A and B are shown apart, each in its own frame.
Chain A
């Protein structure tokens, strides 16, 4: 029986792939064919027909993408705004009640404060370590191997990373031997072991370390490419001018990659604003470590309050917006 269910599931997945892929191809193929039939590029009206077909064709190509994007990303933004003005079950209009509740809510204030700390620490630390790692590994023979290893956490899920780090922070109590690396080290240097992730305020930083550990590889890869893109001549000129390696790094290289540093910084900032899995897995927001994304999740599932959850989601959206605007402006500048 069980085997039958598993087989069914595999069949379902495969038929979905096939239906999905063939559906896409068929849609594009036949819609194009139809367009060519409707406006043939021959005969007395060839010129007009071609122009018409060319005006319509982009929309055939874009159709599915626009439909999916509107439904899965644009509509929810609008709907969330609507939900935020309604009560828990989205039935009654409540005006600004959810917003007023939110501002007064102690957990929300804690989350904002914690998110702020995350925003200050994580992007900065990841970019800093990434820059150091990029510069150092570019100068040694086994640099690519080192890069690979530092980059590796990128492939690990946040929840997997949380397990890995929870093990590091593990606390066994005074009676038994410490099996968490951190407490073992603390003991070795004569300190007292602690249950780190329940430590009010400081536990935030232990959670941040997990994200820094994951994001440093990303920063390193991007910054390393930027560093290698710096014209060799400017560095050679600096060597002839007598600059030390540190001076070359700080005064010649870093200023030339400011743009990339900003990109890395903002990309990690967005990840930080959405951080959820790590907090959920390590503390679930207890001991003063709540963040917005997890608070929203709490209100959505445990609180079953779509009004409050949507209001919190909108706050996250609001915090992301400046970066969104900046990205769009940069993209437009580049296209010109």
Chain B
């Protein structure tokens, strides 16, 4: 049985529908990450699970109980806020004790819970400090500690790393991953950063924004991180997951068989893709999706696309070439060696590996890829 189940959940502010058609089942022990562009409502969805926002329509079940009208404190959840939301006039220990005191727990029990959380998070020596006397990373840990002492069945995180600097962010990310392993509790985590999503999640929920919500509902795709990377359901998912972004080049289908599809691109070159596009008519307008890391500029292996280097970004370990391709608006990105021999103005022949291609129809839907 799913631990958290959302059925046809919807959120509207007056006539504005923010979240639509949300059907989700999250299993016990899952590390679920809600990710999506800004304004997609991922924080709102989290706050609806927490009980901080009302649910306009649909049902929310936690551990088999309908929770739509249950106050936050009785949902068995704990939340870590973006700004940590530590009570500034209470010490670390008092911050962690607050919820337990409200629940009228015994002092000995409270003490034990605080000591335990302090040890897990290495906060034991800071218990008597006020929040303003702590560093950003320490505050973050107190916020997590405050969640731990409540021993919830689900942890909710609302962009918890966005206030930390880059180095601390990586470290805390690892700590949260460790915590998930050691507590074996369910966690729901909201972020706009796809790296956090990819590294932490056992299950990613990618949300649509803007017009797509009305057409397809709020959820773009649900699945393990690599599933979203390898088999994006739509052009939007393909573009959102992966960095630098996937290249999309317009073309049309010349021939589609059960084994592969043959496509003519906008610059006239012909490429083959291991995609089942038999559902599309011959001559249908499609887009070819190919990730920069899969565009090689080496010995010819498959089909070539000719491009002219516009500029080169050298990051040391790798270089990225930005190329003009005839008939294509914008630039095509391709990964190259760290000491790439190419310079602006050079003509490069790019190989498009048959097995790495994605095809999307004019509505943005992906054609099924074939295993090779």
Contacts and interface: CB of A to CB of B under 8 A. Distances in A.
A and B touch in the complex (CB under 8 A): yes
Interface of A: 41, 46-48, 50-51
A46 B71 CA distance: 9
B68 A41 contact: no
Contacts of B68: 47
B63 to A, nearest CB: 16
Given A47-B70, A51-B69, 9 more contacts: A41-B71, A41-B74, A46-B69, A46-B70, A47-B68, A47-B69, A48-B69, A50-B69, A50-B71
B48 to A, nearest CB: 14
11 contacts: A41-B71, A41-B74, A46-B69, A46-B70, A47-B68, A47-B69, A47-B70, A48-B69, A50-B69, A50-B71, A51-B69
A151 B74 CA distance: 53
Interface string B157-185: 00000000000000000000000000000
A47 B71 CA distance: 8
Interface in B64-106: 68-71, 74
Interface in B32-89: 68-71, 74
A48 B71 CA distance: 11
Contacts of A50: 69, 71
Interface residues of B, number: 5
Judged by DSSP, the binding face of B is loop
A153 to B, nearest CB: 36
Nearest to A51: B69
A51 B74 CA distance: 15
Contacts, number: 11
Contacts of A46: 69-70
A133 B328 CA distance: 65
Interface of B: 68-71, 74
Contacts of B70: 46-47
Nearest to B74: A41
Contacts of A48: 69
A238 to B, nearest CB: 35
Contacts of A41: 71, 74
A159 B254 CA distance: 97
A46 B51 CA distance: 14
Contacts of B71: 41, 50
B54 to A, nearest CB: 9
Nearest to A54: B71
Nearest to B67: A47
A50 B70 CA distance: 8
Contacts of B74: 41
B276 to A, nearest CB: 48
A51 B54 CA distance: 11
A51 B69 CA distance: 8
Contacts of A47: 68-70
Among B68, B69, B74, residue most surrounded by chain A Cβ atoms (within 10 Å):
B69
Nearest to A42: B74
A186 B268 CA distance: 100
- Name the 3 nearest CB pairs between A and B, nearest first: A47-B69, A41-B71, A50-B69
Nearest to B70: A46
B65 to A, nearest CB: 11
Contacts of B69: 46-48, 50-51
A295 to B, nearest CB: 51
A120 B70 CA distance: 60
A47 B69 CA distance: 4
A282 B115 CA distance: 70
Nearest to B54: A51
A168 B70 CA distance: 71
A59 B179 CA distance: 44
A50 B74 CA distance: 12
A151 to B, nearest CB: 30
B97 to A, nearest CB: 22
B52 to A, nearest CB: 13
B68 to A, nearest CB: 7
A27 to B, nearest CB: 22
B155 to A, nearest CB: 23
A161 to B, nearest CB: 39
A50 B71 CA distance: 8
A51 B68 CA distance: 12
A40 to B, nearest CB: 11
Among A47, A48, A50, A51, residue most surrounded by chain B Cβ atoms (within 10 Å):
A47
A127 to B, nearest CB: 37
A47 B74 CA distance: 12
Nearest to B73: A41
B335 to A, nearest CB: 41
A46 B65 CA distance: 13
Contacts of A51: 69
A54 B349 CA distance: 67
A50 B54 CA distance: 12
A222 B71 CA distance: 44
A52 to B, nearest CB: 11
B103 to A, nearest CB: 14
A50 B67 CA distance: 13
A41 B74 CA distance: 10
A41 B71 CA distance: 8
A241 to B, nearest CB: 36
A293 to B, nearest CB: 44
A157 to B, nearest CB: 36
Nearest to A47: B69
